[in-house]
């Protein structure tokens, strides 16, 4: 699987989904083209999906928010009259490397979380209308919706057949959403998750697996009626006009570097390192939200978020051997603050809200990236407000102290804003500063008192905002030694260690989903019972059952 995976797409390129916009309601149809898999060697039968299918879904969800703010309810349904969705394609999984499987699951999970949160974040409620078999990843698509309707045709069912069929676990939060979101009783969940055929009809409702079961002849009508009801009950303003998410301006260099307008990715393969540099704004902030809306996707704060998001996804899937991701910024901190302030001051404007919520998601994606993350606060940098979140998303941050010889850039400083104290929570529902200062909550208050101040090295260090401040004498060596040491460690151990240390504090459904994915699913994905030559995943479709080592670990 050495194809370069492109996360950018647009409706003219979709092969697997289509959307019919009908005022406040959008009908989203999954109709997978079985011959348009991302890789060779499998067909996407029965509306099964691979990463390519999910990239389109992710694009749709994103465009729904930015291009179609008039939509209040999205109805996810199948364009195939026999099956809703058979889940992730098993032959694709059987043929994929472990790395691809893990990254695939991570990305699909992020997509699920994104539309699941669309109701709270963007007042776009997702209804899932299930007709036909809805199994495994298919039911997980449904589970992430805000409301599930199932037709009662004595045939359509919902199922999580991974354990009996494939010897793995549902990979996109299925088990966790069954217990934590749907609050299915554990013994019923145990039955549900160990039968291939799933649960249909009234029992699916009784067991809380779906919200509503409707007679087949009235199903389509009931779904559209429910969609209208939800849309009418929505508090979201009506008749909003969106902006177009124009194609990213992106070029790839021969050495693997990637250039966007405000984000640069440099690759140093010998050192196993990618450096991501964000450039500050090249102009004043728009005068008001109307002006920003006219700028659309060119508006700085949105543009950077899209570019950074794409860069992270690209590095995750296409540059799997880089151990270190280094975040840098360069630019006018005051301008960054001005651009950000427009959003923070207009949070009731749909576009300001969407851009801020998008930043929340991008930062979560950074949190979830299994590489050593490092932030370098250099002279001339602009780690301000939302950009400063990168300092605490990182595993470590280093800041320049005092003047450096021959360096006449403005003195390195960190500036806090309201963004750092609420609107950008992590998966654990705490801000990055709250998570950072779990043992010293006063430190958050102290930092908050410094909003708007340009905090130079000593002050930042005093407040605990950076890991280490280094002067001209130590900077280069300290950082070089750290990079070299880090790149020499076992990547597996690092992934585990970093994930453990990043998500301190309370568990949420989101942290549990990712935690269990990393711990259990990834473990099972490595075990011979699933992926060995005689394992269930390898043998799926051959008719021969998996052979298991019966020892319980």
Partner 1 sequence: MTDLLNVSYDTQIPNNVGLSSDKKVLKALERWHPGYINWWNDLIPKNFQDSLIYLRTAVSVDPKGWTKFDYVKMPEYRWGVLLAPQVEDRRIPCGENAGELAWQEVPGEYRSLLRRLIVIQGDTEPGSVEQQRFLGLTSPSLYDMRNLFQVNVEEGRHLWAMVYLLFKYFGRDGREEADDLLRRSSGSEEAPRMLGAFNEETPDWLSFFMFTYFTDRDGKMQLEALAQSGFDPLSRTCRFMLTEEAHHMFVGETGVGRTIQATVDAMNKAGITDPYDIDKIRSLGVIDLPTIQKKLNLHYTLSLDLFGNEVSTNAANAFNSGIKGRYMEMRIKDDHKLNNDKYPVRTVKDGAIVSEEVPALTAINMRLRDDYVRDAAGGVGRWNKLIAKSGVDFQLKIPHEGFHRQIGVFSSVAVDPDGNILSSEDWLEKSKDWLPTKADGDFIQSLMKPCFEVGKYASWIAPPKVGIDNKPGDFEYVKLHMA
Tell me whether residue 203 or residue 486 sits nearer to partner 1 (CB atom).
Answer: 203
Cβ at position 536, least distance to partner 1 in Å: 12
Phi first, then psi, for residue 91 (nearest 5°) are: -65, -35
Contact flag: residue 195 with partner 1 (CB under 8 A) = yes
CA dist., res. 60 & res. 141, Å (int):
14
Among the listed residues 12, 154, 251, 488, the single contact to partner 1 using CB under 8 A: 154
Q: At what angle do helices 350-367 and 333-345 cross, to 10 degrees?
A: 120
What's the order of all strands across the beta sheet hosting 157-159?
83-85, 133-135, 157-159, 199-200
- Cα-only R_g, the chain: 24
Piece in contact with partner 1 (CB under 8 A), picked from 60-68, 146-154, 301-309, 320-328: 146-154
Cβ at position 187, least distance to partner 1 in Å: 15
Among the listed residues 408, 442, 543, 553, the single contact to partner 1 using CB under 8 A: 543
Interface with partner 1 (CB under 8 A), residue total 17
Among the listed residues 104, 437, 475, 540, the single contact to partner 1 using CB under 8 A: 540
CA dist., res. 116 & res. 142, Å (int):
10
Task: Please check whether residue 178 is in contact with residue 163, taking contact to mean a CB–CB distance below 8 angstroms.
Answer: no
Tell me whether residue 331 or residue 546 sits nearer to partner 1 (CB atom).
Answer: 546
Token pair 């902006």 is found at 243
Among the listed residues 229, 347, 544, 549, the single contact to partner 1 using CB under 8 A: 544
CA dist., res. 537 & res. 161, Å (int):
13
CA dist., res. 547 & res. 553, Å (int):
16
Six-digit token string for 122: 């963007």
Token pair 């124009």 is found at 246
Tell me whether residue 415 or residue 529 sits nearer to partner 1 (CB atom).
Answer: 529
**Contacts (CB under 8 A) with partner 1, residues 170-189:** none
Six-digit token string for 289: 């939200």
Tell me whether residue 217 or residue 241 sits nearer to partner 1 (CB atom).
Answer: 217
Binding map of partner 1 across residues 206-245, x = CB under 8 A, - = no contact: ---------xxx----------------------------
Cβ at position 138, least distance to partner 1 in Å: 16
Tell me whether residue 49 or residue 383 sits nearer to partner 1 (CB atom).
Answer: 49
Cβ-count burial of 154 within 10 angstroms (0-12 exposed, 13-18 middle, 19+ buried)? Answer: exposed
Give, for 143, the enclosing helix (H) or strand (E): helix 137-143
Tell me whether residue 155 or residue 500 sits nearer to partner 1 (CB atom).
Answer: 155
Closest to 86 measured CA to CA, from 39, 33, 30, 137: 137
Contact flag: residue 155 with partner 1 (CB under 8 A) = yes
Among the listed residues 98, 409, 446, 545, the single contact to partner 1 using CB under 8 A: 545
CA angle (179 as vertex; 177, 180 as ends), nearest 5: 65
Tell me whether residue 196 or residue 345 sits nearer to partner 1 (CB atom).
Answer: 196
Tell me whether residue 165 or residue 470 sits nearer to partner 1 (CB atom).
Answer: 165
Tell me whether residue 439 or residue 543 sits nearer to partner 1 (CB atom).
Answer: 543
Give the Cβ contact number of residue 317 at 10 Å.
21
Contact flag: residue 164 with partner 1 (CB under 8 A) = yes
Among the listed residues 23, 41, 247, 541, the single contact to partner 1 using CB under 8 A: 541
Piece in contact with partner 1 (CB under 8 A), picked from 135-143, 334-342, 409-417, 543-551: 543-551
Among the listed residues 442, 542, 550, 553, the single contact to partner 1 using CB under 8 A: 542
Tell me whether residue 216 or residue 238 sits nearer to partner 1 (CB atom).
Answer: 216
Contact flag: residue 124 with partner 1 (CB under 8 A) = no
Piece in contact with partner 1 (CB under 8 A), picked from 277-285, 340-348, 354-362, 538-546: 538-546
Among the listed residues 10, 20, 190, 197, the single contact to partner 1 using CB under 8 A: 197
In the three-class reduction of DSSP (H, G, I as helix; E, B as strand; rest coil), residue 149 is classed as: strand
CA dist., res. 85 & res. 160, Å (int):
12
How many residues are there in the chain?
Answer: 553
Contact flag: residue 196 with partner 1 (CB under 8 A) = yes
Q: What b/e string do you get for 504-533 counting C-beta neighbours within 10 Å, with b at 16 or more?
A: eeeebbbbbbbbbbbeebbebbebebbbbe
Task: Please check whether residue 147 is in contact with residue 125, taking contact to mean a CB–CB distance below 8 angstroms.
Answer: yes
Cβ at position 185, least distance to partner 1 in Å: 17
Piece in contact with partner 1 (CB under 8 A), picked from 194-202, 285-293, 346-354, 516-524: 194-202
Tell me whether residue 83 or residue 457 sits nearer to partner 1 (CB atom).
Answer: 83
Task: Please check whether residue 386 is in contact with residue 360, taking contact to mean a CB–CB distance below 8 angstroms.
Answer: no
Contact flag: residue 549 with partner 1 (CB under 8 A) = no
Among the listed residues 152, 275, 318, 417, the single contact to partner 1 using CB under 8 A: 152
Contact flag: residue 48 with partner 1 (CB under 8 A) = no
Cβ-count burial of 465 within 10 angstroms (0-12 exposed, 13-18 middle, 19+ buried)? Answer: buried
Beta strand 273-279 with 324-330 is parallel
Task: Please check whether residue 50 is in contact with residue 39, taking contact to mean a CB–CB distance below 8 angstroms.
Answer: yes
Cβ at position 216, least distance to partner 1 in Å: 5
Give contact residues for partner 1 (rule: CB under 8 A): 152-155, 164, 195-197, 215-217, 540-545
């Amino acid at each position: 699987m050495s194809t370069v995976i492109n996360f950018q797409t647009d409706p003219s390129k979709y092969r697997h989904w289509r959307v019919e916009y009908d005022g406040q309601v959008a009908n989203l149809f999954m109709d997978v083209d079985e011959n348009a898999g991302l890789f060779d060697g499998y067909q996407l039968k029965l509306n099964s999906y691979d990463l390519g299918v999910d990239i389109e879904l992710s694009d749709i969800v994103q465009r729904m928010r930015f291009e179609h703010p008039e939509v209040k309810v999205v109805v996810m349904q199948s364009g195939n009259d026999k099956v809703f969705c058979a889940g992730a394609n098993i032959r694709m999984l059987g043929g994929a490397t472990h790395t691809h499987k893990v990254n695939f699951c991570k990305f699909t999970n992020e997509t699920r979380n994104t539309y699941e949160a669309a109701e709270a974040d963007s007042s776009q409620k997702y209804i899932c209308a299930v007709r036909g078999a809805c199994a495994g990843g298919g039911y997980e698509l449904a589970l992430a919706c805000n409301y599930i309707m199932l037709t009662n045709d004595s045939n359509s069912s919902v199922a999580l057949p991974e354990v009996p069929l494939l010897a793995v676990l549902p990979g996109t939060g299925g088990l966790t959403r069954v217990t934590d979101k749907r609050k299915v009783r554990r013994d019923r969940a145990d039955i549900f998750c160990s039968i291939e055929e799933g649960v249909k009809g009234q029992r699916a409702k009784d067991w809380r697996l779906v919200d509503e079961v409707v007679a087949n002849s009235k199903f389509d009508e009931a779904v559209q009626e429910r969609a209208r009801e939800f849309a009418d009950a929505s508090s979201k303003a009506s008749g909003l006009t969106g902006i177009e998410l124009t194609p990213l301006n992106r070029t790839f260099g021969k050495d693997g570097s990637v250039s966007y307008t405000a984000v640069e990715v440099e690759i140093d393969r010998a050192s196993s390192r990618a450096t991501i540099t964000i450039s500050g704004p090249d102009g004043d902030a728009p005068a008001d939200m109307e002006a920003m809306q006219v700028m659309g996707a060119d508006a700085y704060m949105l543009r950077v978020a899209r570019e950074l998001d794409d860069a992270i996804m690209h590095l995750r899937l296409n540059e799997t051997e880089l151990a270190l991701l280094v975040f840098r910024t360069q630019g006018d901190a005051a301008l960054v603050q001005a651009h950000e302030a427009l959003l923070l001051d207009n949070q009731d404007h749909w576009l300001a809200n969407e851009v801020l919520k998008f930043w929340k998601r991008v930062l979560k994606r950074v949190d979830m990236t299994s590489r050593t993350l490092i932030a370098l606060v250099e002279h001339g940098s602009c780690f301000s407000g939302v950009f400063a979140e990168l300092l605490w998303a990182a595993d470590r941050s280093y800041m320049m102290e005092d003047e450096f010889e021959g360096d006449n850039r403005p003195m390195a400083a960190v500036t806090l804003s309201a963004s750092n104290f609420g609107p950008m929570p992590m998966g654990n529902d705490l801000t990055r500063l709250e998570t950072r200062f779990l043992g010293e909550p006063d430190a958050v208050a102290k930092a908050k008192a410094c909003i708007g101040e340009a905090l130079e090295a000593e002050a930042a260090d005093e407040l605990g905002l950076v890991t280490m401040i280094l002067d001209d004498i130590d900077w280069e060596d300290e950082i070089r030694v750290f990079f070299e040491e880090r790149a020499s460690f076992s990547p597996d151990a690092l992934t585990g260690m970093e994930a453990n240390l990043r998500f301190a504090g309370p568990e949420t459904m989101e942290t549990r989903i990712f935690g269990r994915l990393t711990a259990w699913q990834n473990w099972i994905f490595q075990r011979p019972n699933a992926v060995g030559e005689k394992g269930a995943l390898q043998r799926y479709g051959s008719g021969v059952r998996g052979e298991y080592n019966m020892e319980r670990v």
